[in-house]
Chain A
Amino acid sequence: MQVTIKVFRYNPEKDKKPGYKTYKLDAIETDRVLDLLEKVKGYQDGTLSFRRSCAHGICGSDAMRINGFNRLACKTLVRDTGAKITVEPILGLKVIKDLIVDMEPFFENFRSVMPYFVNDEPEPAQERYQSPAERERFDDTTKCILCACCTTSYPSFWANDKYLGPAAIVTAHRFIFDSRDRAAAERLKILNDVFGIHRCHTIFNCTLACPREIQVTKAIGEVKMALVTGKLD
């Protein structure tokens, strides 16, 4: 089948304003959008820029807007997009070139929720034990790959990149509900900020956008309840 792929193009060093460029190429239904972009870059237009790394839905580097939805290009098949595909950078972050955005505001928010294990108690002789049920409590939120699909699908983040965003809250959830961690209070205090968890208006964009199928809105709801009740189980 022949596919038409319309790609957002912008080189701030040359272009006065952003635009779109359309490419036609042959594809099969099981091709991924990333394969199409690779073909365009390899055979038609070497100036096209986009991020990619593992190409298997794990590294999260090729998040982009595909036909208006935040997706990973390496997990989106042509059979799901149809023959006409529009590819744009994710919203709310400054475009560096074409499909590459400046991820720093996103990672700054991520770092602000203390995304690491904290436990100052004396180290046990062996590892810190955890029951299967305790591990299960935060299992879903361990799957986050920091692709930014969720955060950049959220209108509050488009309006103001100070908003921590779903990815940072999901990371906080992963540690807040970890029975071995001891910094839940500090994280909850950070999330209680003006630009913290209460900027979430429960519109479920994040859950729909997550390529790892994390129940993001549910996780945010659990953190809100922890903030109100103080219960971490």
Chain B
Amino acid sequence: MKPRTVSMYRRGFDFETTMWLFTRLSALIMYLLALIGIVGAFIMGARTQMNLADIIRWTFMPNPSHVLNTNVPDLAPWSTVFWKLMGSAFVFFAAAHGLHGLLSVIEDYLSHPGIRLALRILGVVILLLMSGIGIYMIWTS
């Protein structure tokens, strides 16, 4: 029996579905980023030279300034472009994922298309502002 499928054009794939998919994928991406972060922490010597709070701090925001008070002897090799990109990706995906989730719940209570559009524009502005400031701090600290 031939598999039944519907093309993207016929079924529609608009903003709502795109953002639904983005929310799921961004969560998976953040799991992956956290996994890379925690592996990095253990390579750094977390098992003997960090407490749990520092491991978590590094996992979710891999910036050497967050783990200055640990017993890791040399943090310089961990201040690289790779880890800055990791931190930037975390900031962007966390802000976008969280903000979209919040807007989704608020939108349950809004039916006027104009107000919904205004809220979405405000959301994009907040996202750019929040992630922009965060990423700027990562690259200049």
A residues within 8 Å of B by Cβ?
131, 155-156, 159-160, 162-163, 179, 184-185, 188-189, 192-196, 198-199, 201, 224, 226-228, 230-233
Contacts and interface: CB of A to CB of B under 8 A. Distances in A.
Contact of A227 (B4, B11, B111): B11
Contact of B11 (A179, A185, A195): A185
B105 A201 contact: yes
Interface in B36-78: none
Contact of A159 (B4, B16, B17, B109): B109
Nearest to A199: B108
B80 interface: no
A228 B6 contact: no
B65 to A, nearest CB: 37
A188 B7 CA distance: 11
Given A189-B12, A192-B14, A198-B17, A230 B5 contact: yes
Contacts of A163: 108
Contacts, number: 70
A188 B109 contact: no
Contact of B10 (A185, A194, A195): A185
A155 B108 contact: yes
B125 to A, nearest CB: 21
A65 B4 CA distance: 40
Report, as a range, how many residues of chain B touch the other chain. Answer: 20 to 34
A232 B5 contact: yes
Contacts of B7: 185, 230
B84 interface: no
Given A179-B4, A233-B3, A228 B17 contact: yes
Nearest to A157: B108
A188 B107 CA distance: 21
Interface in B74-124: 104-105, 107-111, 113, 116
A76 to B, nearest CB: 29
23 contacts: A156-B108, A159-B109, A160-B110, A163-B108, A184-B4, A189-B10, A189-B11, A189-B12, A192-B12, A194-B16, A198-B16, A198-B20, A201-B105, A224-B20, A226-B6, A228-B17, A228-B20, A228-B21, A230-B5, A230-B7, A230-B8, A231-B3, A231-B5
A195 B109 CA distance: 11
A192 B11 contact: yes
A159 B11 contact: no
B108 A188 contact: no
B10 to A, nearest CB: 4
Given A155-B108, A159-B108, A230 B11 contact: yes
Given A185-B10, A192-B17, A194-B116, A232 B4 contact: yes
A189 B7 CA distance: 11
A116 to B, nearest CB: 18
Contacts of B116: 194
A160 to B, nearest CB: 6
Contacts of A195: 111
B117 to A, nearest CB: 11
Contacts of B3: 231, 233
Contacts of A185: 6-7, 10-11
B4 A233 contact: yes
The 6 A-B residue pairs with the shortest CB-CB distance in the complex, in nearest-first order: A185-B10, A232-B4, A188-B11, A189-B12, A159-B108, A198-B16
